[in-house]
Amino acid sequence: MNQGLAVRNLDVDRGGLRICRDVSLTVRPGQVSVLLGANGAGKSSLLDGITGVVATSKGTIELDGQPLHNRRRPHRARMGLSYVEQGRAVFSQLSVEENILIVGGPQGARDAFELFPRLAERRSLSAGLLSGGEQQMLLVARAMAMKPKVLLLDELSLGLAPVIVQTLLATVRKLADEGLAVLLVEQFAALALAIGDSAYVLNRGQIVFNGSCEQLKADPAVLEAAYLSV
Protein backbone atom coordinates (compact mmCIF):
# COMPACT_ATOMS: atom_id res chain seq x y z
CA MET A 1 0.00 0.00 0.00
CA ASN A 2 1.14 3.55 -0.76
CA GLN A 3 2.50 4.97 2.49
CA GLY A 4 2.99 8.47 1.14
CA LEU A 5 5.86 10.80 1.85
CA ALA A 6 7.81 10.97 5.10
CA VAL A 7 10.39 13.71 5.64
CA ARG A 8 12.46 13.56 8.80
CA ASN A 9 14.85 16.12 10.25
CA LEU A 10 15.63 17.64 6.87
CA ASP A 11 17.99 20.59 6.47
CA VAL A 12 18.01 22.55 3.21
CA ASP A 13 21.00 24.79 2.45
CA ARG A 14 21.27 27.34 -0.32
CA GLY A 15 24.20 29.54 -1.22
CA GLY A 16 25.94 28.45 1.98
CA LEU A 17 22.98 29.42 4.14
CA ARG A 18 20.74 27.06 6.08
CA ILE A 19 17.26 27.88 4.75
CA CYS A 20 15.29 25.01 6.35
CA ARG A 21 16.24 23.36 9.61
CA ASP A 22 15.24 20.01 11.06
CA VAL A 23 11.98 19.80 9.13
CA SER A 24 9.80 16.74 9.61
CA LEU A 25 6.49 16.22 7.86
CA THR A 26 4.30 13.50 6.41
CA VAL A 27 1.97 13.53 3.47
CA ARG A 28 -0.47 10.63 3.47
CA PRO A 29 -2.33 9.11 0.54
CA GLY A 30 -5.82 10.53 0.29
CA GLN A 31 -4.81 13.67 2.13
CA VAL A 32 -3.87 17.25 1.35
CA SER A 33 -1.13 18.57 3.62
CA VAL A 34 -1.01 22.35 3.54
CA LEU A 35 2.31 24.15 4.06
CA LEU A 36 1.94 27.79 5.04
CA GLY A 37 4.38 30.53 5.95
CA ALA A 38 5.37 34.09 5.15
CA ASN A 39 7.35 35.13 2.09
CA GLY A 40 10.89 33.91 2.49
CA ALA A 41 10.02 31.36 5.20
CA GLY A 42 11.58 28.63 3.06
CA LYS A 43 8.54 26.85 1.58
CA SER A 44 9.85 26.65 -1.98
CA SER A 45 13.29 25.68 -0.72
CA LEU A 46 11.74 22.85 1.28
CA LEU A 47 9.88 21.52 -1.77
CA ASP A 48 13.11 21.89 -3.79
CA GLY A 49 14.94 19.85 -1.15
CA ILE A 50 12.27 17.14 -1.08
CA THR A 51 12.15 16.79 -4.87
CA GLY A 52 15.91 16.95 -5.41
CA VAL A 53 16.12 20.33 -7.15
CA VAL A 54 18.48 21.17 -4.28
CA ALA A 55 20.71 18.51 -2.73
CA THR A 56 20.27 18.00 1.02
CA SER A 57 22.92 16.82 3.42
CA LYS A 58 21.00 16.00 6.58
CA GLY A 59 17.73 14.22 7.19
CA THR A 60 15.75 11.55 5.36
CA ILE A 61 13.05 11.51 2.70
CA GLU A 62 11.02 8.35 2.16
CA LEU A 63 8.35 7.64 -0.40
CA ASP A 64 6.28 4.56 0.21
CA GLY A 65 8.94 3.42 2.69
CA GLN A 66 11.74 3.75 0.11
CA PRO A 67 14.58 6.19 0.84
CA LEU A 68 14.80 8.97 -1.74
CA HIS A 69 17.23 11.43 -0.19
CA ASN A 70 20.26 9.82 -1.83
CA ARG A 71 18.60 9.79 -5.25
CA ARG A 72 18.74 12.44 -7.91
CA ARG A 73 15.72 14.37 -9.05
CA PRO A 74 14.79 12.23 -12.11
CA HIS A 75 14.85 9.08 -9.98
CA ARG A 76 12.62 10.72 -7.36
CA ALA A 77 10.22 11.69 -10.15
CA ARG A 78 10.18 8.14 -11.50
CA MET A 79 9.52 6.85 -7.96
CA GLY A 80 6.38 8.97 -7.85
CA LEU A 81 7.16 12.54 -6.80
CA SER A 82 5.61 15.08 -9.14
CA TYR A 83 6.39 18.75 -8.59
CA VAL A 84 4.68 21.83 -10.00
CA GLU A 85 7.27 24.48 -9.26
CA GLN A 86 6.37 28.07 -8.60
CA GLY A 87 6.39 30.12 -11.79
CA ARG A 88 6.91 27.08 -14.00
CA ALA A 89 5.83 27.69 -17.59
CA VAL A 90 3.98 25.56 -20.12
CA PHE A 91 5.54 24.92 -23.54
CA SER A 92 3.86 27.92 -25.07
CA GLN A 93 4.50 27.06 -28.74
CA LEU A 94 3.01 23.59 -28.40
CA SER A 95 -0.70 22.93 -28.34
CA VAL A 96 -2.43 22.09 -25.08
CA GLU A 97 -2.73 18.48 -26.17
CA GLU A 98 0.95 18.24 -27.21
CA ASN A 99 1.99 19.59 -23.82
CA ILE A 100 0.35 16.58 -22.21
CA LEU A 101 1.17 14.00 -24.89
CA ILE A 102 4.93 14.49 -24.51
CA VAL A 103 4.70 13.57 -20.85
CA GLY A 104 1.81 11.15 -20.62
CA GLY A 105 0.98 9.87 -24.11
CA PRO A 106 -2.61 9.38 -25.31
CA GLN A 107 -3.82 7.94 -21.99
CA GLY A 108 -2.31 10.89 -20.14
CA ALA A 109 -4.20 13.23 -22.45
CA ARG A 110 -7.49 11.39 -21.95
CA ASP A 111 -7.05 11.52 -18.16
CA ALA A 112 -6.10 15.20 -18.26
CA PHE A 113 -9.14 16.16 -20.32
CA GLU A 114 -11.39 14.24 -17.98
CA LEU A 115 -9.82 16.05 -15.03
CA PHE A 116 -10.01 19.48 -16.68
CA PRO A 117 -12.79 19.60 -19.31
CA ARG A 118 -11.78 23.19 -19.96
CA LEU A 119 -8.46 21.99 -21.34
CA ALA A 120 -10.29 19.53 -23.61
CA GLU A 121 -12.18 22.43 -25.16
CA ARG A 122 -8.86 24.16 -25.85
CA ARG A 123 -6.80 21.11 -26.82
CA SER A 124 -5.67 22.49 -30.21
CA LEU A 125 -4.84 25.96 -28.96
CA SER A 126 -1.20 27.02 -28.40
CA ALA A 127 -0.63 26.66 -24.66
CA GLY A 128 0.80 30.17 -24.52
CA LEU A 129 -2.64 31.54 -25.39
CA LEU A 130 -4.32 29.96 -22.34
CA SER A 131 -5.38 32.15 -19.44
CA GLY A 132 -3.24 32.09 -16.29
CA GLY A 133 -5.65 29.72 -14.56
CA GLU A 134 -5.81 27.41 -17.56
CA GLN A 135 -2.01 27.32 -17.74
CA GLN A 136 -1.93 26.21 -14.11
CA MET A 137 -4.50 23.52 -14.94
CA LEU A 138 -2.22 22.37 -17.74
CA LEU A 139 0.77 22.23 -15.38
CA VAL A 140 -1.22 20.14 -12.90
CA ALA A 141 -2.43 17.92 -15.75
CA ARG A 142 1.17 17.42 -16.93
CA ALA A 143 2.28 16.58 -13.40
CA MET A 144 -0.57 14.08 -13.07
CA ALA A 145 0.34 12.49 -16.40
CA MET A 146 3.45 11.15 -14.64
CA LYS A 147 1.07 9.04 -12.51
CA PRO A 148 2.57 10.28 -9.25
CA LYS A 149 2.02 8.98 -5.75
CA VAL A 150 2.76 12.39 -4.29
CA LEU A 151 2.00 15.74 -5.90
CA LEU A 152 3.82 18.85 -4.64
CA LEU A 153 2.24 22.15 -5.63
CA ASP A 154 3.93 25.50 -5.07
CA GLU A 155 1.63 28.52 -5.20
CA LEU A 156 -0.65 27.57 -8.03
CA SER A 157 -2.54 30.75 -7.24
CA LEU A 158 0.22 33.19 -8.18
CA GLY A 159 -1.45 36.03 -10.06
CA LEU A 160 -4.84 34.33 -10.18
CA ALA A 161 -8.23 35.53 -8.97
CA PRO A 162 -9.54 33.74 -5.85
CA VAL A 163 -12.47 32.24 -7.77
CA ILE A 164 -10.05 30.53 -10.18
CA VAL A 165 -7.93 29.35 -7.26
CA GLN A 166 -11.02 27.82 -5.69
CA THR A 167 -11.70 25.82 -8.86
CA LEU A 168 -8.11 24.59 -8.99
CA LEU A 169 -8.10 23.64 -5.33
CA ALA A 170 -11.39 21.77 -5.72
CA THR A 171 -9.65 19.60 -8.31
CA VAL A 172 -6.68 19.13 -5.97
CA ARG A 173 -9.12 17.92 -3.31
CA LYS A 174 -10.70 15.51 -5.78
CA LEU A 175 -7.29 14.06 -6.66
CA ALA A 176 -6.56 13.46 -2.99
CA ASP A 177 -9.97 11.85 -2.53
CA GLU A 178 -8.97 9.42 -5.28
CA GLY A 179 -5.89 8.42 -3.27
CA LEU A 180 -3.15 10.90 -4.16
CA ALA A 181 -0.94 12.41 -1.43
CA VAL A 182 -0.72 16.19 -1.92
CA LEU A 183 1.65 18.74 -0.39
CA LEU A 184 0.22 22.17 -1.08
CA VAL A 185 2.05 25.48 -0.63
CA GLU A 186 -0.46 28.28 -0.92
CA GLN A 187 -0.61 32.00 -0.17
CA PHE A 188 -4.40 31.99 0.06
CA ALA A 189 -4.28 30.36 3.50
CA ALA A 190 -8.05 30.29 4.07
CA LEU A 191 -8.73 28.62 0.71
CA ALA A 192 -6.02 26.05 1.31
CA LEU A 193 -7.17 25.26 4.85
CA ALA A 194 -10.74 24.84 3.55
CA ILE A 195 -9.72 21.88 1.36
CA GLY A 196 -6.78 20.53 3.39
CA ASP A 197 -6.47 17.81 6.03
CA SER A 198 -3.22 18.45 7.87
CA ALA A 199 -1.33 21.71 8.12
CA TYR A 200 2.24 22.79 8.72
CA VAL A 201 3.44 26.32 9.35
CA LEU A 202 7.00 27.18 8.47
CA ASN A 203 8.67 30.14 10.13
CA ARG A 204 12.25 31.04 9.26
CA GLY A 205 12.86 27.56 7.97
CA GLN A 206 11.42 25.69 10.95
CA ILE A 207 8.08 23.99 11.49
CA VAL A 208 6.26 25.93 14.21
CA PHE A 209 2.86 24.24 13.83
CA ASN A 210 1.91 20.70 12.94
CA GLY A 211 -1.73 19.71 13.29
CA SER A 212 -5.03 19.53 11.47
CA CYS A 213 -6.37 22.27 9.23
CA GLU A 214 -9.34 22.48 11.61
CA GLN A 215 -7.00 23.18 14.54
CA LEU A 216 -5.18 25.87 12.63
CA LYS A 217 -8.40 27.54 11.53
CA ALA A 218 -9.50 27.59 15.16
CA ASP A 219 -6.22 29.19 16.26
CA PRO A 220 -5.39 31.95 13.77
CA ALA A 221 -2.86 33.44 16.22
CA VAL A 222 -0.38 30.74 15.16
CA LEU A 223 -0.59 31.84 11.55
CA GLU A 224 -0.52 35.53 12.38
CA ALA A 225 2.60 35.07 14.50
CA ALA A 226 4.39 33.24 11.69
CA TYR A 227 3.42 35.85 9.11
CA LEU A 228 4.41 38.76 11.32
CA SER A 229 7.71 37.50 12.64
CA VAL A 230 9.76 37.63 9.43
Backbone φ/ψ region at 19: left (φ over 0), alpha (ψ -120 to 50), beta: alpha
Residue 37 C-beta: closest distance to ligand ATP, Å: 5
- What residues does 95 pair with on adjacent strands? 126
Residue 100 C-beta: closest distance to ligand ATP, Å: 27
Q: Which residue, 96 or 201, has its beta carbon nearer to ligand ATP?
A: 201
d(CA 217, CA 201): 12
Q: Which residue, 39 or 124, has its beta carbon nearer to ligand ATP?
A: 39
d(CA 119, CA 121): 5
Where do contacts with ligand ATP occur on this chain (CB under 6 A)?
Answer: 14-15, 19, 37, 39-45
Instruction: Give me the torsion for CA of 68, 70, 74, 78, rounded to 10°.
Output: -30
Residue 57 C-beta: closest distance to ligand ATP, Å: 15
Q: Which residue, 100 or 223, has its beta carbon nearer to ligand ATP?
A: 223
d(CA 69, CA 175): 25
Q: Which residue, 119 or 199, has its beta carbon nearer to ligand ATP?
A: 199
Residue 10 C-beta: closest distance to ligand ATP, Å: 13
Q: Which residue, 31 or 45, has its beta carbon nearer to ligand ATP?
A: 45
Closest CA to 71 of 97, 45, 53: 53
CA angle in degrees (0–180, nearest 5) for 220-32-42:
65
Residue 15 C-beta: closest distance to ligand ATP, Å: 3
